[in-house]
Chain A
Amino acid sequence: MSNKPDNANADSPNPASKDEPAKNIDAYSEYLQLAEGNRPPHLYQLLDIELFCPHPERINQAVRRQFRKIKPYEENPDRRVRERIQDVMTHIATAKTVLNNPIQKTEYDERLAKVLKIDRDEFFSTQTAGRPPEFCITVIAGPAQVGSRFELLPDKTVTLGTNPQATICLPSLRLAPLQATVTERDENWVIRSANESLVMIVNDTRCHEYVLEPDDVIDLVGYRILFSEISKTVRKGPVAPPLSLVVHSGPSVPDPMMNLVAPASVLIGRCDTTLWQLAGKSMSLHHARVESDGAFWQLRDLHSDTGTFLNGDKVTQSILSHRDVIKFGPYEIQVRLRK
């Protein structure tokens, strides 16, 4: 069996190459975009969260966010770069283990406070970061990220947009890198468009700035976001399972998939203010709506010109089941229920 390398300089995994100085890349700034500074960073820098962060849920969310950032690069063709990436991934996993264990976390925090020459008690008394978060925002409809919940921390601005560095990265062709921000102002949470030209709809009203109340619904071009109190996010009674609507055939659309979690609803049509814009010919401006009703999802035709069809039958209102096929205008949409 002959299987010689074609040429000598193929990426040969010769052990000797390990002794060469590893390519001088800083994987922390390269893949996690951490600010320059001490390497390796301490665990709070690594996770890009506030020093001594006391919220386990926020720590775990940050772990997943950082892991998602670096993981796609693990297949780098250069073995040494790959090893660096693996080291950073191990580091993130270590952060999860240490910071999720109350005893280890206290020990770590004490050590870190000493190194940074910070008095922890004093640090907390001057910081509001220790105050537990009261509100959260949840992505309840959109092409991606649906179901993700973000707790709003006092004194911390939340950014929304396509930028991977945004607090809530919303992949989309129709959103700006920085679309909107949510900040605390005089004990109220305020959402603001990043600039005047960007469309934002809160509770069906176009605006650029809005002081949020619990259960307000914010539409950001294709995404729907719910603002709510953390203590009241557990709902009683049956809840419809997550729903995905997938364009199976039809003219090309910016977002071929729309995901929903209860209590979201989605308006579908040609109009550019609809949450899911399907702009093909013979679509009405407001063609149909899908909304949750207790344990079910319901499809409603909004007196469209060309009608709404479910598994071939024209319908005005119907409950959706897994694998149903909806047709409106030139589009064929597949229904997928998570249960």
Chain B
Amino acid sequence: MSHETVKPVGIDLGTTFSAIAYVDDGGSPRAIPTAEGVYVTPSAVYIKPDRSIVVGQRALDALSERPDRVAVNFKRDMGEKFYSEPIGGREFSPEALSALVLKKLAQDGRNELGDIGGAVITVPAYFGDARRKATQDAGRIAGLDVIDIINEPTAAALANAFQQFINQGGDQSNLSIARIAARAPSTTMVYDLGGGTFDVTIIRIDHNEFEVIATGGEVRLGGIDFDQRIVNYYCDEFRRRHGIDPRDTTETLERIRSTCELAKIALSESEQTVLVCEHLGRKMQVPISRGRFEQLTADLIARTQISTEMLLEDAMLSWDRIDNILLVGGSSRIPRVARMLEEISGKKPEMAIAPDQIVSHGAALHAAISVLDRAPQPVSAGGERRIESESAPNPSTAEAEQRMMQSIMATDAVDAAKRIKLSDVNSHGLGVIVRAKEGQGTANSVIIPKNTPLPTSRVKLFGTEAKNQRQVRLRITEGDTRDPRGCTQIGECLIRQLPKGLPKGAPVEVSFRYDASGRIHVKAVELTSRISADVHLERTSGFEQEDLNKMKDAVSEINVE
């Protein structure tokens, strides 16, 4: 597949909804509609008894009929081995289920564009390494050329800055993406409450530079938790009146869930609505007011508030240093969200133009920019992207580059896009497990603390544990606590065959390098013997290549409706 004739796409792979977009010839991001003509696809997979597969709205519709055969919310399980429930009696990995959604989106993309080039897939900024790997794998299993993984808030900020430029009378037909932010430097907080995850990020925007200062959030907090509160409210009421609990019957529960979700959406517009459901022939109406809904979900909003306040502490900022608050994600339409933020910040948050699509728009912009960045080298899956590459191309490649870019977007837009720079931070610390002081067991020693601008490298000095130690095993962790139980092991580095007779405490220098494309390089050197070991923790895969290929082949043969 070549990028010379096809456009790259951006995909927002959401917990409840996913979306795909591309950048048109004029340089504007455009959402790609599904075959049904809508711009978001429910992240639901229905595996029919005949093993054919349906993705999207029709899969979601099947949920109340065949709850045992429909998978939803699998993004919550990303990084785990299996989706929480077996589907039709079989275990599926969250990667495989996500791959089916991606495959459906890619089909919609091909219907619109003829063919598609590489893809940028978004992840919550607060995702750790395992979940990022799983997302990248899902893309590969779906047969996509994954150019990059980008954080959702960063994508939203990029697309929003673009939108503002248009709103301020920017010429869309002769667009300069880079001029979008040609204003005084500003600091934006992106509050992204999606279907299943919550992210909050502070981004500094200075002309063409988008620099993430700090990021935080929760990987298991989103709209589905708000739905669940209404479900419980209804079911408690049902049980009180009829003595039976509808939650015991999966089919009914899914119908109630969908009713409650609609009620939640309705309560963003109106003050009151009625929940109507039927269970075992008993129909029951329960009115619910916005006030009651807010009472039921007060602690969920409070949790997002705690994360937001913790983020300000991490960034060492007070509210007077935040210029704008941008609301992203469908669930940030809940009126209490904006009110809470206004109460604590004294600022009026601004709702993104299309909070469900903005992330995919940003991903599409990033995809277009990345392809320009790595031109004119031939593109291969997982190819390294350099964010700040400024190398001057030689004349022959310059010509090829020119041709390629024009095929992606108009020349002006190309010039502009090339000037955009994104820099991000790591959302979790990286370190190694060390022996704590005598008799205190092990401890995690953080080497790259969270919210460090990427790329970065850090060195720390340790000593061997015992006299005459012949090897040093470093367990590489993700996490910020000193307590190893608060961290996840993400790799290992082993120095072997150290000379005999080293004293206890022989110096071991550990260096970490975290590059802009998310690769972690670890090197350890015993300084007296100069014996070293290094390991590259690439975000390649949680699977063996062979398994990955097998799954890829399997998915490529599946017809997704």
Decide: A93 and B185 in contact? CB cutoff 8 A: no
Decide: A339 and B321 in contact? CB cutoff 8 A: yes
User: How long is the Cα–Cα vector from A148 to B488 in the complex, in angstroms?
Assistant: 28
Chain B residue contacts of A13, Cβ below 8 A: 77, 80, 82, 84-85
Decide: B306 and A11 in contact? CB cutoff 8 A: no
Decide: A242 and B82 in contact? CB cutoff 8 A: no
| B12-20, B295-303, B356-364 - the one binding chain A | B295-303
Asked if A67 is at the interface of the complex by the 8 Å CB criterion, the answer is yes
Q: Contacts A64-B313, A75-B128, A144-B449 hold; do A4 and B91 have CB atoms under 8 A apart?
A: yes
Decide: B92 and A3 in contact? CB cutoff 8 A: yes
Decide: B306 and A12 in contact? CB cutoff 8 A: no
Decide: A86 and B220 in contact? CB cutoff 8 A: yes
Chain A residue contacts of B424, Cβ below 8 A: none
Decide: A94 and B310 in contact? CB cutoff 8 A: no
Chain A residue contacts of B204, Cβ below 8 A: 338-339
Decide: B303 and A15 in contact? CB cutoff 8 A: no
User: How long is the Cα–Cα vector from A12 to B481 in the complex, in angstroms?
Assistant: 28
Decide: A252 and B316 in contact? CB cutoff 8 A: no
User: How long is the Cα–Cα vector from A257 to B302 in the complex, in angstroms?
Assistant: 32
Decide: B458 and A72 in contact? CB cutoff 8 A: no
Q: How far is the CB of A236 from the nearest CB of chain B, in Å?
A: 14
Asked if B403 is at the interface of the complex by the 8 Å CB criterion, the answer is no
Q: Which residue of B lies closest to A250 (CB)?
A: B459
Asked if A164 is at the interface of the complex by the 8 Å CB criterion, the answer is yes
Q: Count the B residues whose beta carbon is within 8 Å of the partner chain — how many?
A: 57
Decide: A93 and B551 in contact? CB cutoff 8 A: no
Decide: A5 and B303 in contact? CB cutoff 8 A: no
Decide: A94 and B299 in contact? CB cutoff 8 A: yes
Q: Contacts A1-B554, A90-B299, A339-B187 hold; do A68 and B310 have CB atoms under 8 A apart?
A: yes
Decide: B90 and A3 in contact? CB cutoff 8 A: yes
Asked if B33 is at the interface of the complex by the 8 Å CB criterion, the answer is no
Residue from B81, B220, B302 within 8 A of A10 (CB atoms): B81
User: How long is the Cα–Cα vector from A147 to B318 in the complex, in angstroms?
Assistant: 9
Q: Contacts A74-B220, A338-B316 hold; do A11 and B486 have CB atoms under 8 A apart?
A: no
Chain A residue contacts of B486, Cβ below 8 A: 72-73
Asked if B93 is at the interface of the complex by the 8 Å CB criterion, the answer is yes
User: How long is the Cα–Cα vector from A147 to B453 in the complex, in angstroms?
Assistant: 19
Asked if A241 is at the interface of the complex by the 8 Å CB criterion, the answer is yes
Decide: A339 and B185 in contact? CB cutoff 8 A: yes
Decide: B302 and A96 in contact? CB cutoff 8 A: yes
Residue from A171, A241, A244 within 8 A of B321 (CB atoms): A241
Decide: B303 and A89 in contact? CB cutoff 8 A: yes
Asked if B461 is at the interface of the complex by the 8 Å CB criterion, the answer is yes
Decide: B487 and A72 in contact? CB cutoff 8 A: yes
Decide: B306 and A67 in contact? CB cutoff 8 A: yes
Asked if B24 is at the interface of the complex by the 8 Å CB criterion, the answer is no
Chain B residue contacts of A147, Cβ below 8 A: 313, 316-318
Asked if A2 is at the interface of the complex by the 8 Å CB criterion, the answer is yes
Q: How far is the CB of A233 from the nearest CB of chain B, in Å?
A: 11
Q: How far is the CB of B198 from the nearest CB of chain A, in Å?
A: 12
Asked if B460 is at the interface of the complex by the 8 Å CB criterion, the answer is yes
Q: How large is the interface on A (under 10, 10 to 19, 20 to 34, 35 or more residues)?
A: 35 or more
User: How long is the Cα–Cα vector from A47 to B457 in the complex, in angstroms?
Assistant: 37
Decide: A5 and B309 in contact? CB cutoff 8 A: no
Contact with B along A241-264 (1 / 0, CB 8 A): 110101001011000110101000
User: How long is the Cα–Cα vector from A297 to B46 in the complex, in angstroms?
Assistant: 59
Decide: B310 and A67 in contact? CB cutoff 8 A: yes
User: How long is the Cα–Cα vector from A89 to B307 in the complex, in angstroms?
Assistant: 12
Decide: B306 and A72 in contact? CB cutoff 8 A: no
User: How long is the Cα–Cα vector from A90 to B218 in the complex, in angstroms?
Assistant: 12
Q: Which residue of B lies closest to A91 (CB)?
A: B299
Decide: B461 and A93 in contact? CB cutoff 8 A: no
User: How long is the Cα–Cα vector from A71 to B393 in the complex, in angstroms?
Assistant: 48
Decide: A252 and B300 in contact? CB cutoff 8 A: no
Decide: B321 and A64 in contact? CB cutoff 8 A: no
Chain B residue contacts of A92, Cβ below 8 A: 306
Chain B residue contacts of A261, Cβ below 8 A: 316
Chain B residue contacts of A1, Cβ below 8 A: 92, 96, 551, 554-555, 558
Decide: A2 and B554 in contact? CB cutoff 8 A: yes
Decide: A64 and B488 in contact? CB cutoff 8 A: no
Asked if A45 is at the interface of the complex by the 8 Å CB criterion, the answer is no
Asked if B519 is at the interface of the complex by the 8 Å CB criterion, the answer is no
Q: How far is the CB of B360 from the nearest CB of chain A, in Å?
A: 26
Interface centre among A3, A15, A256, A336 (most CB of B within 10 A): A3
Contact with B along A1-34 (1 / 0, CB 8 A): 1111100001111010000000000000000000
Chain A residue contacts of B419, Cβ below 8 A: none
Contact with B along A137-155 (1 / 0, CB 8 A): 0000000101110000000
User: How long is the Cα–Cα vector from A3 to B36 in the complex, in angstroms?
Assistant: 31
User: How long is the Cα–Cα vector from A89 to B305 in the complex, in angstroms?
Assistant: 13
The 8 closest A-B pairs by CB, nearest first: A72-B486, A1-B554, A93-B299, A242-B316, A93-B302, A147-B316, A252-B459, A72-B481
Q: Which residues of B contact A (CB under 8 A)?
A: 77, 80-82, 84-85, 90-93, 96, 128, 185, 187, 204, 206, 213, 219-220, 298-300, 302-303, 305-306, 309-310, 313, 315-318, 321, 449, 452-453, 457-461, 479-483, 485-488, 509, 550-551, 554-555, 558
Can you pick out 16 interface pairs between chain A and chain B where the beta carbons lie within 8 Å of each other?
A1-B555, A1-B558, A4-B90, A67-B310, A74-B219, A93-B302, A94-B299, A96-B302, A96-B306, A97-B299, A97-B302, A148-B313, A164-B481, A171-B482, A242-B316, A338-B316
Known: A11-B81, A97-B298, A164-B481. 17 other contacts (CB 8 A): A1-B92, A1-B96, A1-B555, A3-B90, A3-B93, A12-B91, A13-B77, A60-B309, A67-B306, A72-B483, A97-B299, A146-B316, A244-B316, A251-B459, A259-B316, A322-B206, A339-B204
